[in-house]
Amino acid sequence: MSLSDRPVLLTGACGTIGRMLAERLSALGWQLRLTDLIDLPIPLPRGACFERADLEDAAAIGRLAEGCGLILHFGGISTEQPFETVLGPNLRGLYHIYESARRERARVVFPSSVHAVGLYDRTDILDQDCPLRPDGYYGLSKAYGEMLARLYWDKHAVESVLIRIGSVLTEPIDERSLSTWISHDDFVRLMERCAAAERTGCSVIWGASDNARSFWRRDARDTIGWTPLDSSDSHAERVRGLVTDDPVIERYQGGKFVVVDYSRPDFPPRAMFEDD
């Protein structure tokens, strides 16, 4: 880890991914500063410290980021919620993260999401430069995060790795996750490369293992030197037939998030700017 001489700030340490990263990265010798809105529900990993903080508290986030060379920003709302719920932590909170990164000259790992492109059909194969097509307010906040990261790179040279996460699970749970799954081991290896890469610029990575059924193709993984080693393919027979009976869920890459407050009587046009 090339940034090992500086602490690493991990927000959202109490979430499912945050807890996994806190345990796995501390075991690798990372010097972690952990934070979340609630108390840490696991024993404090060796070499780590924890402080409760609100992403909307600019002073608290700035204090936690002091001296850090890397910010792993996994805090905020992680499910589809009303706009006013998402607004504070996911938009204003992310601004505080990037302002802190600018002051500290820190690199940011921002977990974007499949939900930033969730209204593409599952038959579409996407590259990193596809137009964003969020499937709800959560996905919209991830699209905003990608644009904010680009702004801070273009204007302030703040480096970011934007990971469009599919499904970080111990194993695939249904047919959709055969396309979106990323193993814990592949995800941790990705974090290691985000830290070790000499330069990242503002890079977009599809957060999925080496899955034959993937919805996604080209990205910037060569820039950071990451290659996934695991695959969902061996799980295909186990999850065969594990689908829903909802045609909207089964049509789109975003899955269940798409149907939250879905009021169209039909499907939107396949192309972004078609009228019909």
Mean pLDDT within 4-16: 93
Q: Give yes or no for a contact between 182 and 215, defined as CB atoms under 8 angstroms apart.
A: no
- Report whether pLDDT(226) > 90: yes
**β-bridge pairing 49-52 and 107-113:** unpaired
User: Domain spanning 8-259: which CATH class is it, in words?
Assistant: alpha beta
**β-bridge pairing 107-113 and 160-165:** parallel
Question: Within 13 Å of residue 90, how many CA atoms lie on the same side as its CB?
Answer: 25
**φ, ψ at 138 (rounded to 5°):** -65, -50
Q: Give yes or no for a contact between 111 and 61, defined as CB atoms under 8 angstroms apart.
A: no
> pLDDT tens, 85-109?
999 999 999 999 999 999 999 999 9
pLDDT at 151: 98
> pLDDT tens, 25-54?
999 999 999 999 999 999 999 999 999 999
- Report whether pLDDT(1) > 50: no
CA proximity to 52, closest of 63, 37, 66:
37
| Catalytic residue chosen out of the listed positions 138, 144, 152, 252 | 138
Q: Give yes or no for a contact between 233 and 94, defined as CB atoms under 8 angstroms apart.
A: no
> pLDDT tens, 152-209?
999 999 999 999 999 999 999 999 999 999 999 999 999 999 999 999 999 999 999 9
pLDDT at 84: 98
Q: Give yes or no for a contact between 40 and 34, defined as CB atoms under 8 angstroms apart.
A: yes
138 is catalytic: yes
Within 10 Å of residue 272's Cβ, how many Cβ atoms?
12
Please tell me the distance from the alpha carbon of residue 144 to that of residue 94, in angstroms, as a whole number: 9
